[in-house]
Structure formats: structure tokens, C-alpha cells
Amino acid sequence: MTAPAAQEKYRLDYSAPHYWIDSIDLDFHLDDHHTRVTAISRIRRNGEHNEPLVLDGEGLLLKKVQLDGRPFSAYVQSATQLTLSNLPAECVLTIETEIDPANNTALEGLYKSGPAFCTQCEAEGFRRITYYLDRPDVLARFTTRITADKAQYPFLLSNGNRMASGDLEDGRHWVSWQDPYPKPCYLFALVAGDFDVLRDEFVTGSGRRVALELFVDKGNLDRAPHAMTSLKKSMAWDEQRFGLEYDLDIYMIVAVDFFNMGAMENKGLNIFNSRFVLANPQTATDTDYFDIERVIAHEYFHNWTGNRITCRDWFQLSLKEGLTVFRDQEFSSDVGSRAVNRIRNVRIIRGPQFAEDAGPMAHPIRPDVVIEMNNFYTVTVYEKGSEVIRMMHTLLGEEAFQRGMKIYVQRHDGQAATCEQFVQAMEAGSGRDLTQFRRWYSQAGTPVLTVRDEYDAVAQRYQLHVQQATPPTAQQSEKLPLHIPLSIALYDSRGAELPLQRDGESVSGLLELTAAAQTFVFDAIAERPVVALLQEFSAPVKLDYPYQDHELCLLLAHARNDVVRWDAAQMLVNRFIIEAVRKQERNEPLCVPEALLFAYGSVLQDQKMDPALATEILTLPGEGTLLELFTSADVDHIHVAREFLLDAVATRHAELWHAAYQCHHIGGDYTTDGAAMARRALANLALLYLARAGLGEERVTAHYRQANNMTDTLAAMQAASVADLPVLASLLADFEQKWQHDGLVMDNWFRLQAGRHDAQTLERVKALLEHPSFSLQNPNRVRALIGSFAANPVVFHARDGSGYRFLRAMLTQLNSINPQVAARMIVPMIQFGRLDSTRKAMIREELQALAQLPDLARDLYEKISRALAQ
């Protein structure tokens, strides 16, 4: 396979830069194809040496180099570097480059999103703007001056405070900005365009007035208020819970349509995928509302955990991402339902994160070796990273954790820090020794806890024997025992929680595992108890404990912890799926255990239960998560089992679903408070089950016609799709006609069709590639159509290999258009480890074909080569 300039970089090879850059003054003359960038940097040699200054740069046309104002020629240029020799200990370097933003479809560096200019520099995009030390440990003071046509680009934005502006005679104008906080270049941002602006203000705890400005495409102002409200909520929460205040006089957010990820935390000037900003009831679903609040919060929280304290090198990415995800999860839990938030986060770990751990790209939350950094913005670094922070929070408690945070900020404000330094701060704040806990940073993979118990009725003693083991992962075969918080509770047969004691003393239900095998003893236990294990999902592990159905039913009905109740239901489902897959292998008929049907019935009848929790309990895990229950399985069997269960729950409880629908389907004005969202979620789930029970066509149609919000509209379409109702075609046509002008809304329409299970799905998806609302250049459209297709548990894995062939064809195109997006889309294709051997072989063939691409991008190269090495 042709290796593109693909260099493996190792975490342990870190060394400080040979030079520092204390300040950089950037001057942009914006033009679609010939943007001029002048960078004037103050360079300072780091220590005594004669090493050259090696600057990073990619796709740049070098126009001029000056040293201290005089022409300079002692440099060598390569495709990715500019090497300057014989520099004095301190100097001012002027570099002029030209770039072509309009042809930048990779959306990294400076590019055009529709008519606007914008930037994305993390992780290594700044080198596509100018030659620079493109690494996060070089912190410089930035000023930016932007010149552009005034009519086309009335707004010229960059980081920090606006300093001056002026008009030029040729219809152009300029604005200059200054960011008082030294920062790494990945936090640099520039935006130029014409927008509608929503303005507001936030007064910080210490009385600083902060101007808030939200820039959206013209005509979208009515879709901006929710994002603004979310921002103010986040600012207030970070002061209240973490004691962290905002530090500039202005905070800007710009929404753009072409964006590779969710959003970017550039200092003082966040750039967002419009998907995570724009919302009104007609266009956005409840999930969109929730996600907007969450992502706005996440980017805001980065101002401290990421910007004021940044990462020393990219291997430390989880230092800012794991911590900031933890903070945004806590925010969502404090302002909404803690249990429901926890459940949603657990679903991500058990689904995509466990799959990543089991696949060729498995890596510790602090990776050791990287080819393309953009490939490591993963569920492992982000979500498992957050779980690791959460475990420290669980072990230390809120108070000690916050003391640790204070020490971390105090010690490292204004610095580029490491994960190790974060752990040290936590040790200092708590007085605890986290030596063994540190292994979570270096060890990849999903630990398995095997728990067995013993009850001695005579001695009234209950013992838990816990073993931990982490299976080998790609690139890491040796595993050591981890420090794992295991939260437990014991229940008696009537569902009452039992006090935990040993030798007359009460003991904690938070067990700390540190050895490969440990036993925990509890006495004064009057009957054989039912144990709730891994409460709140206290660690990102798999659990092996031989629960009986009736024990799970007891936990579902009586556990005091809502996550335990949900988890009990999940385990009931898992048991059924495992059994049903085995039965299909033996050609035996399937049947759903009464216990499971009974449990679902009682949840539906539980008047006291939060409808949001009920919805979570009654929502089956997806096929991807279920595949993680097997070492190897036929995905068709899993799918058939899951569909069988859906039908059984639908028909057995048709009356209860009907009642739930009647009770929770509320007409009237649309509101996005938690209670309204919860009721809508349950009503819409009921609609889906009713449709599935064959009782829904009229109701689904009425639901669609009466909907005054996007959540209900889509729920009707989903129900029609899942039950394969004839009315679906007319609903799709109506939706298309109404929304074809709006790409973000159309994404729902693409998603729904790419997710259908019928035999025409692939042909339909191919036809939709030609739809006027679709574009391979727009990452949101690609994710909606191609990403949903690749996540389709049935059609993507078609036995004839047509799904795999199609994805290969798409990746071939995306490889040249946008390598980052291509590398995201390939994920379902490299995680083939648990598939049957026929499918594995077909996928390998497609990967081998991709590997032959003459211009294979590093992003795909890294993933494909790791997959083929398996």
C-alpha cells in the first residue's frame, strides 16, 4: 500500500521546541483564490544551540521572507516545512504567503463556507495559513488585521478585542483585533462575511460586562435565541459550580454551514457548525435543542479547560477534552435530569466506545502513537476520557475534586500542561495516591469485571468475589489491574435496601478494586440479597454476573438508583438477545421471556416514573451495542432478534402504548422544558410501538398533520418508516416539498431514508446523492446520508457486499474532497472484528482496494493500515 508522507509520532518523543514565538501579527488580504497572509513573529531561541528553526507549512505559496526587516534567504523549503538557519537569539521574522481558500474543500485552515470566509486550525490547520511552529506548547500573543471587500464582508472577526477599523478607497475595509491572552495557534480564528447578529450581555460574578454576539446567516435570527440562552446559562453555571469566570469583554459565536465537526473553541470567537446553533420549533427537534445547549456549554467551558490551560502536545488531548466533556455532562445533569443524562452517556460508552476499544484503532485516552492527529478526536479520548475524570470525582468526592481543580488552575493558568499534571493536582487537592489510577491514561481496552457471590445463611454473611481483566487490544497486549470504583447496593426480596456493614461497623458501597481478584465481605445480612452492581455506571467496564430474570425485575422495580433500574432492563434485553441469537444458529423458534414483557408492562403502568426515564428503559439498545455482547455473531441474527422483541413488546402492550400515547401526547404550544420534552419522547415512542403493532396508520398520519414542531413531525415519519406504512411515501414527499431549501432540516429526511431496512434502500441512497439538497462537499449532508447508511444494521451489511462496495466508492471520492470526513465515515468498515468470516473477507477486499488509491490521505491510510494489520 502506498504510504503517503505518513510518519508515526510517539508521545515519549516529546521535547520542548528549539524556539519560542512570543507574538505574531497577522495581516490578511482576503480573496477567494489569492488570499495574502503576512505574519510578523517575534522569535526567541530556547536555550543555547545552533539548531535551525523548522516551521510547519502545507499548501502555501511562499512570497517573501524577511529577518529583522531585511530580505533573508538562508532557508530551505519542502512540501511541509520551512527550515531557517543562522538565526540570532532573538529576531523578528516576516513571512508572506498566498493561499486559495475557495478551493479548500478539506475545511482545514482558511476556507469558504458558502459566501463567508472562516478558519479551523485544530489540530494542525494553522500550517495551512502560514509557516509557523504549529504545536500547542508555543503560546504567542496574536494580533490580526483583516482587509476585505466591505459590501461582501461587512463583518471581519478574529480573536480578542476589536482595536481599530477603517475604510479604503477601493470598496475594501479593514478591522484589527488583539487577543491579550497568549495562545497556541490552534485557537486562532478568523471569520469574514455578512450575517445577522443577535446581541446580548452577561455580567460576571465580579462585575465584568461581557458583550455576547451570535452571528448567523441572514434571515436566521429567529433561530438564534436558544443558543444565546444556552450560552448565558453555561456562563452562570461555570461560575457557580467551578468558580470560573469569563475573561474577555466580548464572546462571539459564528454559525457556519460547512464544518467538519460540531464546533470549535477558538479564544473569544467560537465557530460552530450551524447544526449546533440554529433552532426554532419548526426546524429543530428536542434532541437538537438539547445538543445545542450541550455543545454551546462545552465550547464555553473550554475557555478555562483548553484555552487558559492548554495541552503541551496533542497526545495530551484528553486533558482538555475528557475534562471538558465531564464538565458539560455535569452541566446538563445539573440543569436537567441527572439520571437520563447518565443513561445517554452510558449508551455512548457501551456502543461506539466499546466498539472502538475492540477494533483496530483502540488507544488509551492518552494515545502513544499517532499518524494523523485528527483521527484521535475519538469517543475514547472524549467520552472515555470523561469517564476517567468522573471516576476521580467518584473516588475523591465533589469537595476534594474541586480543591484539585483549584490547584490545577492555580498551577497551570497560562501554560500548556499534561494529563500527569492534572492527576498531580487532584492528588494535591485530595491527599490521595493515584499512582495505580494513572493506568487508566496509559492502558487501552475495556476491562471486564467478573463478579460471583456467596451467601452463608448461618453466618448471615454475604461475599462478593470480583475479578478484573482487560483483554488485549490492537497495539497493546499486556494489561495490568486498574484502580476501579465499583459502586454497589444490596436489596432484600421485598426491594428494601440493606445497610452495608462489617464487624458491626457500617461500610461504604463504593468498593475500590485494585487487584486482579478481590473479595468483599458484608455481614448481618438476614437473607440472600440481590446485588446492584456498577451503580451509576461507576466505571467504563463490562460486567459479568449471572443475574436471574427475577432479580433484574426486582432491581427494575425497586432500585433507588434510576440508572440501576434502566440497566436492569437493559440486562433483561441482553439476555434475550444472546439467547435468541443462539436459537437462530440452531434454527429454533424465538420467544420473548414473560419476565421481560412483564417488566416493560409495569414500567408503562408506573404513574410515578419520569416519562423520560420510562422512554430510556423502553428504548432497546441498538444493534451495534448488542454486537458487543458477542465475540463474533451474524449481524442478521442480532437484527432479527431485536425486531422480534420490538414486535412482541408492541403487540403484547398495545393497550398500554395506546394509553401512554393518550396521556402524554399534548397539544398546545410547543415548549422545550424538560417535562414537556419527556412527555413528547414517551408519546412518540408509544406512537412507534403502536405503528409496529399495526394500529397506527391513521394515528401516524394525524400526528404528522397536527404536528406544530419538528420532533412530532419526525416521530410520525419514523413510525411510518419502522412499521413500513404505505403513507410514508406521501409524508416524505410533503416534507421534501416543504423543506428542500433548508439543508439542516433535510438532513433528517436523508437520515430517515438511509436508515430504512427494505431492499430498495441502497438504490434510494444512490439516487439521493443526486438530490439538489445533497452535496458531497458538505459534511453535514455526508454524515446524514452516507453516515446513516453505514450505520444501517441491515442494508450496510447486505450479504452480497453491495453496502461495503458502495461505501468504498463514496470513500474514494471523499478521500480527495475531505479526508477528515472520509476518515469518520470509514469507522463502521474497520470495526469488523466481531462480524462473521464472510463479511470480514468482503470488507478486507474493499479496504485493500482503498489502500491502492494513488492519493490516499494520511487520515484514511492510518485507519486502513491498522485495520488490515489485524
- Enumerate binding residues for ligand B3K (CB under 6 A): 122-123, 261, 263-265, 298-299, 302, 321, 374, 377
Instruction: Give the neighbor-by-neighbor strand order of the sheet with 269-273.
Output: 196-203, 209-216, 250-256, 269-273, 263-264
Non-local (6+) Cβ contacts of 243 within 8 A are: 402, 406
Which of the residues 293, 299, 387, 628 is marked catalytic?
Answer: 299
Q: Which is nearer to ligand B3K, 265 or 610 (CB)?
A: 265
DSSP letter (8 states) at residue 522: E
- From the list ligand B3K, Zn ion, none, which binds 778 (C-beta under 5 to 8 Å, kind-based)? none
319-338 residues in contact with Zn ion (CB under 5 A) are: 321, 324
**Cβ contacts of 561 within 8 Å, gap of 6 or more:** 339, 489, 532, 535, 536
For residues 822 and 861, the answer to whether their CB atoms sit within 8 Å is no
In the bound complex, what is the minimum distance in angstroms from residue 252's beta carbon to ligand B3K? Answer: 16
Selection from 37, 94, 80, 82 nearest residue 55 by Cα: 82
377 binds, among Zn ion, ligand B3K, none (CB under 5 to 8 A by kind): ligand B3K
- Can you read off the three cell numbers belonging to residue 47? 536555550
Name residues contacting Zn ion, limited to 263-322 (CB under 5 A).
321
Residue 155 pairs in a beta bridge with 193
Name the minimum Å distance from CB 372 to ligand B3K: 10
One-letter identity of residue 80:
T
Minimum CB separation from Zn ion for residue 549, in Å?
Answer: 41
Closer residue to Zn ion, CB minimum distance, 238 or 321: 321
With CB cut-offs between 5 and 8 Å by kind, which of ligand B3K, Zn ion, none does residue 747 bind? none
The least CB distance from residue 818 to ligand B3K, in Å, is 12
Of the pair 27, 321, the CB lying nearest Zn ion is at 321
In angstroms, the CA 43 to CA 369 distance is 30
Distance CA 483, CA 518 (A): 12
In whole angstroms, give the CA distance from residue 676 to residue 656: 20
Min dist CB 252 to Zn ion, Å, is 18
Q: Are 255 and 282 in contact (CB under 8 A)?
A: no
Q: Which is nearer to ligand B3K, 323 or 511 (CB)?
A: 323
In this complex, which beta carbon is closest to Zn ion, that of residue 321 or of residue 536? 321
Nearer Cβ to Zn ion (270/421) = 270
Q: Which residues contact 487 (CB under 8 A, 6 or more apart)?
A: 394, 509, 510, 511, 534, 535, 536, 538
Cα distance between residue 58 and residue 121, in whole Å:
12
Amino acid in the structure at residue 434: L
- Calpha distance 642→632 (Å, rounded): 17
Count of H-run helices and E-run strands, the chain: 29, 35
846, interface contact from ligand B3K, Zn ion, none, CB < 5-8 Å by kind? none
Q: What, of ligand B3K, Zn ion, none, does residue 374 touch, CB below 5 to 8 Å by kind?
A: ligand B3K
Question: Measuring CA to CA, which residue among 710, 724, 658 is closest to residue 685?
Answer: 658
Distances from the Cα of 726 to the Cα of 691, 694, 722, angstroms: 12, 12, 11
Could you say which residues in the range 547-586 bind Zn ion, by CB under 5 A? none
Nearer to ligand B3K, 277 or 707 (CB): 277
Half-sphere exposure of 691 (CA within 13 A, CB side): 27
Comparing CB distances to ligand B3K, the nearer of 41 and 375 is: 375
CA distance 127 to 354: 34
Return the beta strands (E) in 355-504 as ranges. 369-370, 416-417, 448-456, 461-469, 484-487, 489-491, 497-498, 501-502
* Residue 728's binding partner out of Zn ion, ligand B3K, none, with CB under 5 to 8 Å set by partner kind: none
Residue 760, C-alpha cell as written in the block: 430498495
Cell numbers found for residue 88: 540570532
Look up residue 296 and give its amino acid: I
CB of 227 to ligand B3K, least distance (A): 15
**Residue 513 interacts with, from Zn ion, ligand B3K, none (CB under 5-8 Å by kind):** none
Q: How many CB atoms lie within 10 A of CB 267?
A: 26
Is the CB of 176 or the CB of 378 nearer to ligand B3K?
Answer: 378
Cell numbers representing residue 744 in the block: 439542516
Q: Are strands 269-273 and 250-256 parallel, antiparallel or unpaired?
A: parallel
**What's the closest the beta carbon of residue 58 comes to ligand B3K, in angstroms?**
15
123 interface partner picked from ligand B3K, Zn ion, none, CB below 5 to 8 A per type: ligand B3K
Strand 250-256 to 209-216 pairing: parallel
Contacts of 475 (CB under 8 A, 6+ apart): 362, 363, 368, 369, 444, 866
Of the two residues 310 and 788, which places its CB atom closer to ligand B3K in the complex? 310
Residue 94: which of 131, 29, 40, 53 has the closest Cα?
A: 40
Q: Tell me how far apart the alpha carbons of residues 246 and 229 are, in angstroms, rounded to a whole number.
A: 16
Task: Find out whether 570 and 629 touch, Cβ atoms under 8 Å.
Answer: no
264: partner contacted, choices Zn ion, ligand B3K, none (Cβ within 5-8 A by kind):
ligand B3K
**How many chain residues bind Zn ion (CB under 5 A)?**
2
CB of residue 307 to ligand B3K, shortest distance in Å: 10
Closest separation in Å from C-beta 12 to ligand B3K: 23
Q: Which residues pair with 157 in a beta bridge?
A: 191
**Minimum distance, C-beta of residue 4 to ligand B3K, in the bound complex (Å):** 18
Using CB distances below 5 to 8 A depending on partner kind, what does residue 773 bind out of Zn ion, ligand B3K, none?
Answer: none
The answer to whether 299 is a known catalytic residue is yes
Q: How far is the CB of 427 from Zn ion (least distance, A)?
A: 25
Distance CA(148)–CA(192), nearest Å, equals 8
| Beta strand 9-10 pairing with 484-487 | unpaired
Contact of 535 with 488, CB cutoff 8 Å: yes
Q: How is residue 795 written as a grid cell? A: 442494508
Q: Which is nearer to ligand B3K, 330 or 610 (CB)?
A: 330
137 binds, options Zn ion, ligand B3K, none, Cβ within 5 to 8 A by partner type: none
Nearer to ligand B3K, 108 or 628 (CB): 108
Q: How far is the CB of 851 from ligand B3K (least distance, A)?
A: 23
Residues marked active site are found at 299
Residues at the contact surface with Zn ion, assessed by CB under 5 A = 321, 324
